[in-house]
């Protein structure tokens, strides 16, 4: 299927590893021009160099999404350089699993407000696009009580609600908004590789919950996100697409 992304401009937060990097790479493969950000400058520079090796149209920027002014300035810079923004993908997460107050504050600032600020900053550009699309990366923890039922699950649930609200209010402007809820996603350096080493019992329990017998890959999550962001999904808005290999048991009505 031709996703019709050739020539479109996208911004992605948290684009140096895992699902975020897979999203960046998939958008580039499909012909989009991509600007991505992440906190650590060295990682951003490395990924920029790796992805630019094939003359891809990609720009990396070191940025902490908790800094609203810096986030707004980056989006404005991308808009000016690219001549517009068509696609916004809010992927970055604080992965706030613990239940202390610091984790709640971090999850609020990164996951929730990082998403809201990104959308607000990009909205003037999206309103001018003929193919405007917003995609937020939530989690199955947003719809089921699991080990991440503290700030992580709570703020991911808030993101799904926020995104569906955007879909309703922006439909008249031709701006689509959808979320993707990944299941457990395994990749080198990711949270599940850390759990596999530090807490093998939890890892085994989590793996046993999935009837496919495995966890997902970043590419499988990226495929869903990029499809929803593309003109090929032109009549899909207000959807939370669960990509979990039948991990969750709740019926999504």
Catalytic residues: 152
Answer for the pair 155, 106: CB distance below 8 angstroms, yes or no: no
**Cβ neighbours of residue 228 under 8 Å, at least 6 residues apart?**
133, 135, 176, 178, 180, 236, 239, 241
- Buried b / exposed e over 220-232, threshold 16 CB at 10 Å, is bbbbbbbbbbbbe
Rounded to an integer, what distance in angstroms lies between the CA atom of residue 113 and that of residue 71? 11
SS3 assignment, position 9: strand
């Amino acid at each position: 299927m031709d996703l019709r992304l050739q020539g479109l401009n996208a911004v992605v937060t948290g684009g140096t590893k895992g699902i975020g990097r897979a999203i960046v790479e998939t958008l580039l493969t499909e012909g989009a021009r991509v600007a991505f950000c992440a906190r650590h400058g060295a990682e951003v520079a490395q990924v920029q160099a790796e992805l630019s090796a094939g003359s891809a149209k990609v720009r990396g920027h070191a940025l902490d999404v908790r800094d609203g002014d810096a986030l707004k300035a980056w989006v404005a810079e991308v808009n000016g350089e690219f001549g517009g923004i068509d696609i916004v993908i809010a992927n970055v997460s604080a992965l706030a699993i613990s239940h202390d107050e610091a984790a709640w504050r971090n999850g609020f600032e990164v996951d929730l407000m990082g998403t809201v600020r990104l959308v607000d900053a990009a909205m003037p550009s999206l309103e001018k696009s003929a193919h405007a699309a917003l995609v937020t990366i939530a989690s199955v923890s947003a719809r089921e009580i699991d080990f991440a039922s503290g700030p992580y699950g709570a703020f991911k649930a808030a993101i799904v609600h926020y995104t569906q609200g955007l879909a309703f209010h922006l439909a008249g402007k031709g701006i689509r908004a959808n979320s993707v809820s990944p299941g457990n996603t395994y990749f080198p350096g990711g949270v599940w590789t850390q759990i596999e080493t530090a807490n093998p019992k939890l890892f085994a329990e989590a793996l046993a919950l999935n009837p496919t017998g495995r966890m997902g890959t970043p590419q499988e999550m990226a495929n869903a996100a990029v499809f929803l962001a593309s003109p090929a999904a032109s009549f899909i808005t207000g959807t939370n697409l669960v990509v979990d290999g039948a991990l969750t048991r709740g019926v999504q009505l």
